[in-house]
Structure 1
Amino acid sequence: MLDLRQICRGVAPLWFDFIRDWDRTLRARNYPETTRYSYLLAAAQLDRYLLDNAARLNAEDASADPTEVQRGHVEEFQAWMVATRSASTALTKHKGLQQFYRWLTEEEDLVRSPLERVRQSKTEQKLIPILGDADTAKILATCKGKQFTDLRDEAIIRVLFNTGARLAEVTGLTVGDVDLDLDSLLFHGKGAKERRVRFGPKTGRALSRYLRARVGRRGFGGQALWLPARGVVPLSSNGVKIMLRRRGRRAGVADVHAHRWRHNFAHEWKLAGGDTGDLMLVLGWSSDDMPRRYGASAAAERAQLTHARLQIGERI
């Protein structure tokens, strides 16, 4: 569960009131927790930036009241994000603030959004490297113990590797979403779209072992699938991110995150000659653009293998 007060730490009282009410709307519209966190954080960070730079930006009113924010304030914030973080981070904040100010206009607290004429930051489309068999084997080797966290972490990693599911979909699984008779998982994807995806024997074994270890632990009676090492609050997406980084460091594998397995899944599917339409169904995509983007970092490998198979110029 998101800690709204922690996200909004240091913001002005009126900003907090607006952000809290906006979060109620996001929850009512069934936005995933990861999306809500990203949106709410963008609004809170804008106010903290305005508070820190109120005099320089002539933003005293805006730092106290989000309806007083002007286009220039947002552009200054965006430029600061590019300089101190990255263009992609600035783009994420822009999208979150677009939604915040769209909601403020819906609520009739504003007539026009200050982001109406603010352009998004240009970003380079970086190729995300896949996380293949060799590195995944090293990471799984760190989960060979019998401790609860070893069994849990192996099950999470195998689900990510075997299904290519999104991080939020895996962390959002409930006990009822696991079907050990049909060897499948029910994922709750973006836009409240559900899909059932099969898993293989090794993933099934890891899930079965974890479910047995889960029995009797604190929080065991709840529906959330992934329980913490201590306490009763289910493992969040951020908790899984931290776990994956920790496992990656122990395995000597850099930059371990869930999305790399999603790219790997798309690459392996294409490498095996799988149908693009089927891939879209399995990974929960609705845009034809997604199959081109995912696994792009390994496209050269696929092209070389196809070249070798076709033997162009070598048949005579």
Structure 2
Amino acid sequence: MPLLKIDKLTEGLARDWSGFLRDWDRSLRAGNYPETTRYNYLLAAAQLARYLAEYSPDPDADEAAEDPTAVTKKHIEAFQAWMIDTRSASTALNKHKGLQQFFRWLLDEDEITRSPMDRVKQPKTPQKLIPVIRDDDTRRVLDACRGKGFASLRNEAIVRLYCNTGARLSEIGNLLVTDIDLNTESIHVHGKGAKDRRVRIGPKTSRAVSKYLRARAKRQGADEVPQLWLAERGLNPLRPNGIKILLKRLGAAAGIDGLHAHRWRHNYAHEWKLAGGDTGDLMLLLGWASDDMPRHYGASAAAERAQEVQVRLGIGERV
């Protein structure tokens, strides 16, 4: 994480909190944790520190607001409840996971003898069926990309890669030019946890990427930029957060609310399970290490299959 970001995260924190977070960031970087993971971990700890200093009703929170080694189970539970009230249970769960890592690191550093996270229950989150994006919706998004200009060719290549591969926002967003192999119609994806994989792409996606690469090659100086995606003008890379904003804009143009890359990831798992595809193969293709993920992502397909069986059986309709 660049120094500017860690400065911003620790701004206004007590000296001990700030020092520990800087040391933890250095440890995470040495462990080759992805930047997004490091940021989320550090943000969770920084938010706990600010809660203790500004919002905690506990009269004994002052010491913990100055020094993370003074944080107790009671402080964690109060912070978690506050997160649920002011954000959501899902956000509170993410903070819980980040704080587990922080206090585990403090244990490893012999700064504490027991983690305050011990016996703090993870917040329960509602199980929701994530709406998949249908082919008609994707066609409308592709129609919004239509054109012969640089941005149009780039946008179509981006959308087709997400739709065709089910890859994560960051995996497509962080592609390098050298990750593209049009001879084998495949891309080299850099996944979470430094787990790389090669993913095949279809002919339409390959053609869209090829057309973008030809347009990219015409931009003077582009061959010196390793990142695949370039901004509409100049040589600045278009990074994942920029793609996130771009997809929302394309979704709005197509009349689709809340368009984001993960909807195609859910759709990929949905279509795979509807077709009877093997779960182990799906895990390899989407870069999952736990079989909890295909169950979560495939829940909408399971519900649809159940509805199809229900209609076919006609229970209660034969009387």
TM-score (ref. length: structure 1): 0.88
SS at 2:224 equivalent: coil
Length, aligned pairs only: 312
Distance 1:61 1:220 in 2: 54
* Structure 2 counterpart of 1:182: 184
Inter-CA distance 25–253: structure 2 relative to 1 (3 Å threshold): same
SS at 2:189 equivalent: strand
User: Which letter maps to 1:260?
Assistant: R
* Structure 2 counterpart of 1:221: 224
Contact 1:129 1:298 in 2 (8 A): no
* Structure 2 counterpart of 1:95: 97
Q: Deviations over 1:108-128 (max 9, x none)?
A: 222221111221111112111
Structure-to-structure mapping, 1:23-62, within 5 angstroms:
23-53=25-55, 56-62=58-64
Inter-CA distance 222–87: structure 2 relative to 1 (3 Å threshold): same
Distance 1:27 1:220 in 2: 29
Q: Give the deviation of 1:224 after TM superposition.
A: 2.1
CA RMSD in angstroms comes to 2.5
Q: Does 1:240 align with 2:243?
A: yes
User: Which letter maps to 1:63?
Assistant: A
Q: 1:71 aligns with which of 67, 70, 73?
A: 73
Q: 1:155 aligns with which of 136, 139, 157?
A: 157
Contact 1:51 1:60 in 2 (8 A): yes
Contact 1:57 1:73 in 2 (8 A): no
* Structure 2 counterpart of 1:282: 285
Q: Does 1:8 align with 2:3?
A: no
* Structure 1 counterpart of 2:144: 142
Distance 2:242 2:173 in 1: 9
Most deviating of 271-280 and 216-225: 216-225
Distance 1:39 1:138 in 2: 37
Inter-CA distance 159–309: structure 2 relative to 1 (3 Å threshold): farther
Inter-CA distance 17–155: structure 2 relative to 1 (3 Å threshold): farther
Instruction: Using the aligned pairs only, state the percent identity.
Output: 61
Distance 2:120 2:201 in 1: 45
Q: Does 1:260 align with 2:263?
A: yes
SS at 1:197 equivalent: strand
TM-score (ref. length: structure 2): 0.88
* Structure 1 counterpart of 2:294: 291
Inter-CA distance 311–54: structure 2 relative to 1 (3 Å threshold): closer
* Structure 1 counterpart of 2:198: 196
Distance 2:93 2:10 in 1: 20
SS at 1:104 equivalent: helix
Q: 1:208 aligns with which of 207, 210, 214?
A: 210
User: Which letter maps to 1:188?
Assistant: H
SS at 2:126 equivalent: coil
Distance 2:69 2:179 in 1: 42
Q: Give the deviation of 1:169 after TM superposition.
A: 1.7
* Structure 2 counterpart of 1:119: 121
Q: Give the deviation of 1:57 after TM superposition.
A: 4.3
Q: Give the deviation of 1:53 after TM superposition.
A: 2.5
5+ residue gaps, structure 2, are none
* Structure 1 counterpart of 2:305: 302
Q: Give the deviation of 1:310 after TM superposition.
A: 9.5
* Structure 1 counterpart of 2:174: 172
SS at 1:119 equivalent: coil
